[in-house]
Structure 1
Amino acid sequence: MKATFDQILLTPRFGRLPGHFYSRILPTPLPAPYLMAWNTELAHEMGFESMAEQQPNLTDYLCGNRLPQGSEPIASIYSGHQFGVNAGQLGDGRAILIAEYLAPNGRHWEMQLKGAGPTPYSRRADGRAVLRSSIREYLCSEAMHGLGIATTRALGMAGSEQSVWREKLETAAVVLRVAPSFVRFGHFEYHRQNPDSLQTLADWVIQSHYPDCALASNPYVALLESVVERTALMIAKWQAVGFCHGVMNSDNMSILGLTLDYGPFGFMDSFDAGHICNHSDSAGRYAYQQQPEIGLWNLHVLAQTLLPLMDKESALHALQSYQGQFENHFANLLRQKLGLLHWQEDDWNLITRLFELMHHSHCDWTYFWRNLPTSGSQLRNHFQDRATFDIWFANYQTRLSTEARNPLERQAAMNRVNPKYVLRNYLAEIAIRKARDEGDFKEIKALQQCLMHPFDEQTNFEHYAELPPEWAAQIGVSCSS
């Protein structure tokens, strides 16, 4: 028997912590809600009834108008550094944790509504999310999962004609997102001045999510080391697919190394090492090439926060491992993207020259990598300096010749790591416009279906692999997205 919302409820384990870690708050009813999306694949994975019609009152559950029986919703309190500045007290300003679900396979899933109304941490805002941003989060979290990148997930989405003002008048929507935990670096930052609370939180995270750390001589050092490792891997994977988060504040960094909070994100079309996807980021703090360094910067903030639980030398040692781990992960991903069996130190030169050529010509990131194994020599037409690309490509062919590998086998391996499909901004924009202007949500479902299998050839979705149209350059996303 598959679960329904009428049957599931575990009080969120986070809600068993002392009351100063959160506030109890009920979602604000959303008038006349309608179903926008239900993730049948994720529902099946979680052990839910996967078909929407098998979930009674589904739309009301997705927007918070109805809660699982016995639910005690909470919004948590945290702090954070925003654009490098300590922002003081923050918290779940538009996210409400409604339940925790124990799946048949033993996995715990926290269930959080994003956009379900104000909380004590909304800072005079309305606590709502808009249709535009909700569609983007729903699609991108599932796209990232399809790419094999650790992320929160999206189980469903509901909308309403209720007006919400952002940069203009828009309509409201709510995403039901799920994750093993939504704890952020910022949760630790908030409790830094209270060593007892800091240790309580660290003990909870270790017990709930890092049990192996409890066996270490200092579990808190082991926790920091684990978070460093997960963060390095996550960001290396971001870089490999050209993903830009857009707002890597410390309060948007997951303690589990999950991609968290999809706001002004973007997958690069034309490669630009300094690409800034967030129009609110005027100084380019979170540009593509800055993301690895910002990941380390945020880990420094976390390490400083944890100093009451460890000595400074141990914290520094954990942080010093980040750069090597990131480079190893990134080199391994690049090796696979190039179709190489083994990494050689000289391969950095090959990669560096390629990045310089792509940056100069603004070559499309996803298109280049996907077509490298089959149309490599023809890619010269996408570069301004074709003669220099020819030299690079000849060097690349020479490097490939040093390894005995069947060309068809190499092509298949490269296609398993170089996606054909990513959530380009223009694809999300088309889905948003159809939903907003026509009340048509089929495009959301079609895109989701495609992005679940981004490495596969999908003839029915071939149009999603097309280069972006000219109007796509006019799409802007900001911290209100």
Structure 2
Amino acid sequence: MPIVFDNRFARKFPEITTRQPIKPDGEVNLRWLNSPLWAELTNGETPPAELSQWLGGLEHCPGSDPVAQKYAGHQFGHFNPYLGDGRGLLLGQAVVGDKITDIHIKGAGPTPYSRGADGRAVLRSSIRELLASEALHALTIPTTRALALISTQGKIQRERVEPGAMLARTATTHVRFGHFEHCFHRGLEDTMHNLWQDTIEVTWPHLADADIEEQFSQVVKSTAEMIAAWQAYGFIHGVMNTDNMSLAGETFDFGPYAFLDDYQPEKIFNHTDAGGRYGLLQQPGVGLWNLQRLAQAISPLIEADKLRAALDTYEPELRKAYLNRMTKRLGMSSVPAKERMQLVGGWLSLLEVNQADYQLAFRDLIDSLEAKEPKGLLAQSGDSWWQEYNNVVNGESDIDVMKQVNPWVIVRTHHAQRVIEAAETGDDSLLHDYVQALMTPFSERLRESPWAKPPTAEEQVSELSCSS
């Protein structure tokens, strides 16, 4: 195997892991490989012919030591101690120079934590996670990465019988808030301390010798910055349970996620989230609530007043990170912060009243600035905001920056559905083409691309399934 494994997690934490091999589900087929990411993990080595056999479990992946992890978590606000990797296995940690990267297989078969489920993943949800992770990465939003998509011969019963798949993904770490909740619930204080310190060493090596208050403050800051980026790009995670929160502040375990098409910020896409707990507008508050659950879990390691002090930095960090993102998207770095916030508020109100496409409206603004007259939305009903913007920015818009942060292409549910339907028939051409566009979303060549087109009224999706 060209990847050099360390397997430190399996070695260090046997009390919260179970060793087991990938359980194959018939013959496998490599449908997509993230070639740039593979090159990073292997110092540019050519993918071996056996790769699909290794990742699909038909042969042991050389050097790996697969484990399923035990954790707990709050799901829709309620504590559940019975969670764990029910269908995923951590193959190990890939080592390239000083960098350590987790490699994980989703859909690897039942584990001791499957709670009666089949341990499998379907092609539909695997493709959706692949699309989201690579799109977020291209938008510079911290996220897990998709390494490889493998189809299996399995026929998986969900709402319908669906083709099976496995997704190989990478992350800085797969340690979740829920790992610490499990340790707290079970009284595993030594394990908790060792797990915390090991995760900090892997994620932020420069903080390895810092006190735990500074380390926890970094977790708070990274979580705030991640959620601020979600908000700035209209990304709705879908299932922000604490077991889906990465300690590294990376977008993790995508549920029925969505990027907004029309700017309807109160729209809920997860059909199991009847109360709207995890909608776009709720995400910042849920992020803090989840951090409070983490703080409670690690309370044996740090004094309560230090935990509170770190948590108090969450909202200022989120506001700062959000304003920084929106400042770039609206090209107004020369404007004082207070006026920038007013312009952002007015912009969002304009989009909501007109139910404008959230992504392409920013491109309308760029076109307007280049033409020196309102275009698109701004020509139709944005004259007042356009006047205010020009008065405040005073000809100093950062158009070049705007073009580097405002995508032509994002994951749109109607496009994803087309890709999935084609892949289910064995045609991967749309998948490869869409992923390539998502990896280069700011390219001007995509202006006329079919992938840039928002959905028609008939193509709008109001609900998404949580099954995967």
User: What's the CA shift for 1:213?
Assistant: 2.7
Give the Cα–Cα distance (whole angstroms) in 1 for the partners of residues 183 and 260 of structure 2: 37
> What letter matches 1:448 in structure 2?
V
Aligned to 1:462: 449
Equivalence map 1:244-393=2 (5 Å) = 244-342=236-334, 343-375=336-368, 377-380=374-377, 386=381, 389-393=382-386
SS in 1 for 2:309: helix
TM-score by length of 1: 0.92
Equivalence map 1:70-89=2 (5 Å) = 70-89=63-82
SS in 1 for 2:312: helix
Query: Is contact 2:71-2:179 (8 Å) kept?
Result: yes
Give the Cα–Cα distance (whole angstroms) in 1 for the partners of residues 139 and 9 of structure 2: 29
> What letter matches 2:409 in structure 1?
Y
> What letter matches 2:375 in structure 1?
Q
Alignment of 1:477 onto 2:464: yes
Query: Is contact 2:55-2:61 (8 Å) kept?
Result: no
Give the Cα–Cα distance (whole angstroms) in 2 for the partners of residues 18 and 130 of structure 1: 30
Aligned to 1:34: 29
Deviations 1:152-202 (A, max 9, x none): 111101112311111111110000111121110001110013222211211
Query: Is contact 1:9-1:99 (8 Å) kept?
Result: no
Residue number among 407, 410, 418 corresponding to 1:430 in the alignment: 418
Give the Cα–Cα distance (whole angstroms) in 1 for the partners of residues 102 and 91 of structure 2: 8
SS in 2 for 1:164: strand
Alignment of 1:398 onto 2:391: yes
Give the Cα–Cα distance (whole angstroms) in 1 for the partners of residues 95 and 379 of structure 2: 50
Note the residue ranges of structure 2 that are not aligned, 5 or more in a row: none
Give the Cα–Cα distance (whole angstroms) in 1 for the partners of residues 197 and 461 of structure 2: 47
Residue number among 198, 216, 219 corresponding to 1:204 in the alignment: 198
Moved over 6 A (4+): none
Aligned to 2:38: 43
Residue number among 130, 135, 139 corresponding to 1:138 in the alignment: 130
Query: Is contact 1:12-1:110 (8 Å) kept?
Result: no
Change (3 A) 1:469 1:326: same
Give the Cα–Cα distance (whole angstroms) in 1 for the partners of residues 350 and 357 of structure 2: 12
Deviations 1:381-403 (A, max 9, x none): 796xx3xx3212211111121xx
> What letter matches 1:36 in structure 2?
R
Aligned to 1:419: 407
Change (3 A) 1:212 1:474: closer
Equivalence map 1:139-158=2 (5 Å) = 139-158=131-150
Deviations 1:42-66 (A, max 9, x none): 1122235565xx4121221232222
SS in 2 for 1:468: coil
Give the Cα–Cα distance (whole angstroms) in 2 for the partners of residues 271 and 452 of structure 1: 23
Note the residue ranges of structure 1 that are not aligned, 5 or more in a row: none
Aligned positions, number: 461
TM-score by length of 2: 0.94
User: What's the CA shift for 1:459?
Assistant: 4.7
SS in 1 for 2:168: strand
Aligned to 2:20: 25
% identity of equivalent residues: 36
Range moving further from structure 2, 366-375 or 123-132: 366-375
SS in 2 for 1:435: helix
